[in-house]
Structure 1
Amino acid sequence: MAPAKVVLAGANGHGRHHLGILRDLTARGLVELAGVCDLRPAEVDFCTPLQSPDLGELIAKTGAEFTIICTPINTHADLAITALRGGSHVLLEKPPAPSIEEQRRIAEVVAETGLACQVGFQSLGSAAVPALRRLIAGGSLGRVRGIGGSGAWERPSAYFTRAPWSGRRRLNGVDVMDGALTNPFAHATATALALVDAPIAAIETELYHAHPIESDDTSCVRIRLEDGLVITIAVTLCAPESVPRHEPYLVVHGDRGRATLTYTNDRLKVELADGSVTTTVHGRAGLLENLIDHVRTGAELLAPLAVTERFTQVVDAIRLSPEPVPIPERHQLVLRDADGEVAGRVLPGVVELTRRSADELALYSELDAPWTRVALLVPGAEVAAYDWRPDLPATDSPRPYLHDVRTLGGVEVTQVRPDDHVHHLGAGVAISDLGGANFWGGRTYVRDQGPTWLDNHGTQRHLAFTRLDDGGFTELLEWAGPGGPLVREERTVAARPLGEAWALDFAFTLTNLTGAPLTIESSATKGRAGAGYGGFFWRAPGTSVDRVTLPGDEQAVHGSRQPWVAMSGTTPDGRGWTLVFVQADGDPWFVRVADYPGVGQALAWDTPLTFEHTLSRRVVTVVADGRLTAGEAGELASAVTF
């Protein structure tokens, strides 16, 4: 049989791996490399193929029956479609597409042309995969509750600058999705999904990066299937170079045993409850050979495009997830070269974390990885934590918030979900009525009716940290009501020392997304006198005793527009605290101290507030040990600058 004519699109970078395979297959007389498509000429030492940057033209000139596409991820769909419509079967490098829509574009043309498209998940060519499927289906492992995956490699800083698309989620407005889960460790997820057949019910993601990149270098995903089985994959590109190479693996957890597949070397280890341990190494078929065999003899494809759609669902979930969270340098070991330039970044303990995730089917945050917490330090002591992905009921109007806020002496001065108002969440931004949506939580005040349970609760969704370090962060959020997004928020939070106390600087800007004037209301604007709460709000601990407000009592400061108000109290064990709230915007203060301790802005004190474009506010809170006098609180307030 005549050698199969092949065109390779993308001969540099990972394309050199395909050139090596083509060299071997050419020597065996199975293929002829008829053409190379690349933006720059490629060196080929075993033949002289026609070269062109135009794939369609190259296929037409060479009559290539098969095309290998090994180009940037964002080009996959267009090039695969070009090849298919040019009459060429396709071997498409993984991941097949950066989104499910792009993959379905390819699938439509596969159906239209009747040609084959195989995806380059080499691990699916391993005989270990069907062997493990048979083991699961046959019940040898008992009832399988989940599959865990672990991958930990070291990648230098240069890895993320090797190409314009490296480490990017998008490039020039086009999705790229070059992250640890979606590219170098894509095989882990794809192979785990290939072991089971149930549709995906839900996907949870946690994405982080230690390197200064756009995408993730350390991440995990949990996939819940409709039959109840769970797949959890935890990976990193920040493993220490000094440890032995940690080959990625999958472990299948059954109630009568477990099976571990090291998919890079096709090694399958089976441990049963009776104490028996069996290890086998399986063979692997080449995906190009299999594609050619499929076209010429009807052999079954090992990694057809349709089989990889669930994998691309995972890619899509990662694409739509909040931007990866930067890992502060205090959690890293930064490696430098002889010139002092950053050569790499290591996360101490991360290898063991990926292994624990595979064993426990847990996400990094559930394993208490230190870099999953966002904390504020002054100057080196933690004074606050920030929950940017709270697990809250819809009736609490879920939103990020600061909690465990404490004085430099360690006195806690915030409270979350107290019994008296379970929707009070530490320190943050909450508005009872924004465009008709409740971003405060609890019941909504209805004129002439009173507090009423309505299906109008909104959510503040974290989108990204554009800055994150020990001293604070800048965060982007989206506020969505039942009808969709209403505003985009930029929130800037900073902690800084202030004498023997410290100051929390909290600023936010709301940008109207509706295209029409947007109105903020409060219970007071609807008839409940004095209930003008809405804006920055701080819930202090209700367990404190002898609570007082400054410079006057609650009646004097509630509704006042003075530059500062303060609240102090004493913990049950006798430690005093004082909070001094300072503003320059002139909003009335909403203050409660007798029924419960809380201080905040009143953006709509007694009149609705309407804005067309943006609304900005800033409050600085001085957190001090001890019970201060009005004079002492005033001195601290005067030390605050805007």
Structure 2
Amino acid sequence: MNIASSSPVPRAAVIGVSGYGRIHLQLLRECRARGEIKLTAAVVINPQDEAENIAELRAHGCAIYDTYEAMLAHEAGQIDLCLIPTGIHWHAQMTLHALRAGANVLVEKPLAAAAADIEAIDRAERETGRFVAVGFQDYYESGTQWLKEQIHRGAIGELRAVRFLGIWPRPRSYYLRNNWAGRLHVGAQSVLDSPLNNAFAHFVMLGLYFAGAGRDDAAAAVIEGAELYRAHAIESFDTAVVRLRTDREVRLWLGASHCCRPQFEPEIKLIGTAGSAGWSYENEAWVTTATGDSIRRRVADITGARREMMAAVLARLRDPRVRVCRPAIARRHAEMVLALHAHSAITPVSSDLLAWSGDAGSDAAIPIVNGLEEAMHSAYRRHTSLQDAGFAPAPEALKA
């Protein structure tokens, strides 16, 4: 059992109630209404914007703190679960602090943006005896776990290839919403924000998870080729196609973009020696055997997946056998992102390939890269590079 406090109901805390913190706060409200937790502490760094939430929290006996350091110092040993729905560059630092204060942790994805931080979390988890669950919500979803079980049991034979594609157009305002969107670093802290490390990180991680050899493993993979582009005025990339290979010779193809239309909801396809399988965002998972027999399972929408995540994390407090997305799984995604930035270059999209939807000068404008959408789909179907699919702009590349 991982209950730190003497309370019969687990005591929870949350760092941040704005932005993505609103989602975690709503999950906590739902759990509180069912009597599953006591929300005893919250960090609110912008009280002038959150007066209504502060009043509600205090009415339920929740202490409000200005900083996470103050909260964890004052509440040390009294928090069973600390939720960390903050910016990427805060994940590791806050997770380590919460573990050392005696709390178990649910931290938003990704796990971390630096190799040393990944190792530090691993050590702290072992030293404190607490657990870290990473908020890749689709991992916890029942249809996802059903599909992993089918692959692990050999329903499609030996897994040979995994492909993922997602296209979500994003306007300028997406990169203006905070001080780290599209950034590689904030001060001395690594961020490495990108479609693969943020909006589509969930599905990249699922691809690695499905490719993992064990039932509860994600695969480590070596990058064989990477094409990174940026159309927005950012440091990082907003379009990527990455080809990888695992030590079991499973080939992975990962493609994502914020810079073309129409939208294409995330989809993962898996090819085996005796069948195929797939996973479709907020839709379904399926397995088709070599004989043509097909089995399908519903995949919950994002709200349902988040609720399953929260239920699993709360259950893990009392039962260590409950499956959560542990650092040992989530690190495979983080390691891939780190390798990508260490060894790949980002190519700015030249202006002659770029059009903007709507008013080109407004924050609502979306960059549309000529020829990219067709090339993304072609490369996805054929498991090739964008260049082989006919998209090969060649301005001077900049190091990621």
The verdict on a shared fold, with TM-score over 0.5 as the criterion, is yes
Distance across 1 between alignment mates of 2:29 and 2:113: 30
Distance across 2 between alignment mates of 1:311 and 1:137: 20
Which among 250, 268, 273 is matched to residue 250 of structure 1? 268
C-alpha deviations, 1:526-585, integer Å up to 9, x for none? Answer: xxxxxxxxxxxxxxxxxxxxxxxxxxxxxxxxxxxxxxxxxxxxxxxxxxxxxxxxxxxx
Does the C-alpha gap of structure 1 residues 164 and 87 become closer, same or farther in structure 2, counting only changes over 3 Å?
same
Report deviation, 1:235.
0.2
Distance across 1 between alignment mates of 2:360 and 2:191: 33
Within the alignment, does 1:354 sit opposite 2:376 as a pair?
A: yes
Does the C-alpha gap of structure 1 residues 359 and 296 become closer, same or farther in structure 2, counting only changes over 3 Å?
same
Q: Secondary structure at the match of 1:367?
A: coil
Q: Which residue of 2 aligns with 1:463?
A: 399
Q: Which residue of 2 aligns with 1:13?
A: 19
* Higher RCO structure, 1 or 2 (CA under 8 Å, sep 6+): 2
Report deviation, 1:276.
4.0
Q: Match for 1:328: what amino acid? A: S
TM-score where L is the length of structure 1: 0.55
Q: Secondary structure at the match of 2:173?
A: helix
Report if aligned partners of 2:72, 2:97 keep a CA contact under 8 Å in 1: no
Report deviation, 1:34.
1.7
Does the C-alpha gap of structure 1 residues 292 and 275 become closer, same or farther in structure 2, counting only changes over 3 Å?
closer
Alpha-carbon RMSD across the aligned residues, in angstroms, is 2.4
Which among 257, 275, 285 is matched to residue 268 of structure 1? 285
Which among 57, 67, 76 is matched to residue 70 of structure 2? 57
Report deviation, 1:217.
0.8
Which among 318, 322, 334 is matched to residue 340 of structure 2? 318
C-alpha deviations, 1:338-363, integer Å up to 9, x for none? Answer: 97667221234544443333332223
Distance across 2 between alignment mates of 1:38 and 1:196: 39
Q: Secondary structure at the match of 1:222?
A: strand
Structure 1 unmatched ranges of 5 or more: 376-385, 389-461, 465-642
Within the alignment, does 1:343 sit opposite 2:365 as a pair?
A: yes
Q: Which residue of 2 aligns with 1:200?
A: 220
Higher strand share: 1
Does the C-alpha gap of structure 1 residues 51 and 226 become closer, same or farther in structure 2, counting only changes over 3 Å?
same
Q: Match for 2:267: what amino acid? A: Y
Report if aligned partners of 2:108, 2:136 keep a CA contact under 8 Å in 1: yes
Q: Which residue of 2 aligns with 1:300?
A: 322
Distance across 2 between alignment mates of 1:3 and 1:356: 53
Report if aligned partners of 1:124, 1:191 keep a CA contact under 8 Å in 2: yes
Matched residues, percent identical?
Answer: 26
Q: Which residue of 2 aligns with 1:35?
A: 41
Q: Match for 2:161: what amino acid? A: G
Q: Secondary structure at the match of 1:366?
A: coil
Distance across 2 between alignment mates of 1:317 and 1:256: 32
C-alpha deviations, 1:12-54, integer Å up to 9, x for none? Answer: 1111111121121111111222222142123427532322232
Report if aligned partners of 1:257, 1:273 keep a CA contact under 8 Å in 2: yes
Q: Which residue of 1 aligns with 2:245?
A: 224
Matches for 1:541-580 after TM superposition, within 5 Å? none
Report if aligned partners of 1:189, 1:311 keep a CA contact under 8 Å in 2: yes
Q: Which residue of 2 aligns with 1:148?
A: 163
Q: Match for 2:265: what amino acid? A: E
Q: Which residue of 2 aligns with 1:23?
A: 29
Report deviation, 1:228.
0.5
Which among 116, 126, 134 is matched to residue 111 of structure 1? 126
Report if aligned partners of 1:290, 1:299 keep a CA contact under 8 Å in 2: no
Matches for 1:147-226 after TM superposition, within 5 Å? 147-198=162-213, 199-203=219-223, 204-226=225-247
Does the C-alpha gap of structure 1 residues 191 and 32 become closer, same or farther in structure 2, counting only changes over 3 Å?
same
Report if aligned partners of 1:3, 1:31 keep a CA contact under 8 Å in 2: yes
Does the C-alpha gap of structure 1 residues 272 and 16 become closer, same or farther in structure 2, counting only changes over 3 Å?
same
Does the C-alpha gap of structure 1 residues 357 and 123 become closer, same or farther in structure 2, counting only changes over 3 Å?
farther
Does the C-alpha gap of structure 1 residues 80 and 274 become closer, same or farther in structure 2, counting only changes over 3 Å?
same
Q: Match for 1:231: what amino acid? A: L
C-alpha deviations, 1:55-103, integer Å up to 9, x for none? Answer: 2321343422211111111111111111111111100110010022211
Does the C-alpha gap of structure 1 residues 117 and 342 become closer, same or farther in structure 2, counting only changes over 3 Å?
closer
Distance across 2 between alignment mates of 1:340 and 1:47: 38
Report deviation, 1:317.
1.0
Distance across 2 between alignment mates of 1:179 and 1:167: 6
Structure 2 unmatched ranges of 5 or more: 1-6, 214-218
TM-score where L is the length of structure 2: 0.86
Does the C-alpha gap of structure 1 residues 159 and 225 become closer, same or farther in structure 2, counting only changes over 3 Å?
same
Within the alignment, does 1:373 sit opposite 2:383 as a pair?
A: no
Higher helix share: 2
Distance across 2 between alignment mates of 1:141 and 1:250: 15
Distance across 2 between alignment mates of 1:12 and 1:25: 19
Distance across 2 between alignment mates of 1:19 and 1:236: 29
Report how many residues are paired.
Answer: 374
Report if aligned partners of 1:148, 1:357 keep a CA contact under 8 Å in 2: no
